[in-house]
Amino acid sequence: MPRIERRNVTAAVIVQQVGGDLTVRGRTGSDMVVDGDGVFVEQVADGQPYLIRCGGDCRIAAPHGVPVVVQQVGGDAKLTDLGGALELGAVGGDAVVRNVQAAQIGSIGGDLRLKWAAGDVSLKAVGGDAAIREVSGAVTVAAVGADLYLQNIDGNCQVDRVGSDLVLNMEFAPGNTYRFNAKGDILCRVRAETSAQFIVPADMQVDLDVEADVIEAEDGESQIVRVGDGRAEIVIDDGSELRLVGETEDYVVNLGIQIEEEIEARMSSLEEQLNRQLSGLDERIQAWAEQFTPQAERYADRAQRQAERALDRFRRSMDKQKGKRKRASGTRSFEFTWGSSSANAAPSRQSTEPVTEEERLMILRMLQEGKISLDEAERLLAALDTQS
């Protein structure tokens, strides 16, 4: 699995496509290291983004502060410790996002776990379960196919659709906007200092394990569940049941932990697999280099010996031809020319010898350049000797 390194990386890193699994982590310094199967890294010009494509699994260590854009991942994805903005497009499997700034996430085919985001988080779609916690900014979720667990969201929070159950474990701050929609149950852990009112459909079942007031709204289409002074407003558009429980109910936390652990369990093999594939990469590169150097030297020595042997045969052939010509000049007066009979001999021997030598030299050049094999060169030289 090859390794590509880039120095002084300050521009954005765009991962266009990864066929297998992907891990991206931030690192100190300004260097970027990319390991992968069939990996390709390109920067069109100085200041332009670095474009990365990989046919198989890929691991990237990028400078902590640079923006990272991941457009498409065929397998699982894990992105951690990124100090710049993050855009995550389409992931075929599960995704883990941890310790990032603002994050824009597209579609995740499997499950998602996001933890510790210092900015806003937006999510378009998750096919399985999702756990989002410890977010300093706002959270916007378009769709989650199964369960969604939200914990400690400091900013506004809007969830358009949850296919199954929704678990809320957060402070509801007055002035923030909260809106949720779930097909299953909505379970909310209410803290002691909570002052909020939940506006829910009139036909939605409400189960209270905390002190709260239930009031029918004036429009008759909704009911208000008020906790404390009701300063924060939470709108529930749909859901099978709303259940409010107190801080002592640990099963709410345990449920969220269970969702996270299930995601982590499915993701645990990702880094282990990549580490196994990439472990000892530096040593293997060094070993390959050490193996290649003597091999290349052997190839060079062999080619040199082949050329020397061919040249030696050529010289012996030339000496042999000279001896033949000397003997022929003592007994015959005619001159032999290439491709013609003795009766039609027109050019002199001196005019034909350079042509023959040039042909032999051409054969030797072809041998040295690797265009023909040693056997082929020997046969060609032998043919020239025969014809001479």
Q: What is the DSSP letter of 197?
A: E
**In this structure, are strands 103-108 and 112-117 parallel, antiparallel, or unpaired?**
unpaired
Cα–Cα–Cα angle for 257, 122, 143, rounded to 5 degrees:
70
Residue partners of 47: CB distance under 8 A and separation at least 6: 11
Dump pLDDT digits (tens) for 99-113. Answer: 999 999 999 999 999
8 A C-beta contact, residue 88 and residue 95 = yes
Classify residue 239 by burial, with Cβ atoms within 10 Å: 0-12, 13-18, 19+. Answer: buried
Residue partners of 290: CB distance under 8 A and separation at least 6: none
Q: How far apart are CA 222 and CA 176, in angstroms?
A: 21
Q: Which of 329, 365, 366 is nearest to 350 (CA)?
A: 329
The pLDDT value recorded for residue 381 is 73
The pLDDT value recorded for residue 263 is 61
Dump pLDDT digits (tens) for 41-79. Answer: 999 898 999 999 999 999 999 999 999 999 999 999 999
User: In the structure encoding, which two tokens stand for residue 236, read together?
Assistant: 């529930």
Q: How many residues does the chain have?
A: 388
Task: Per residue of the chain (388 residues), give pLDDT as tens.
Answer: 578 999 999 999 999 999 999 999 999 999 999 999 889 999 989 899 999 999 999 999 999 999 999 999 999 999 999 999 999 999 999 999 999 999 999 999 999 999 999 999 999 999 999 999 999 999 999 999 999 999 999 999 999 999 999 999 999 999 999 999 999 999 998 888 889 999 999 999 999 988 889 988 877 789 999 999 999 999 999 999 999 998 776 655 555 566 666 666 655 555 555 555 555 544 544 444 444 445 444 544 554 555 555 556 555 655 555 555 455 545 443 333 333 333 444 444 344 444 456 676 677 767 666 667 666 777 777 776 665 5
pTM listed for this prediction = 0.67
The pLDDT value recorded for residue 388 is 55
The pLDDT value recorded for residue 331 is 45
All structural domains of the chain with their residue ranges? 1-154, 297-387
DSSP 326-344: HHHHHH------TTS-GGG
Q: How far apart are CA 361 and CA 247, in angstroms?
A: 93
The pLDDT value recorded for residue 197 is 95
8 A C-beta contact, residue 328 and residue 345 = no
The crossing angle, in degrees rounded to 10, of helices 349-368 and 374-387 is 170
Q: Which of 108, 92, 100 is nearest to 24 (CA)?
A: 100
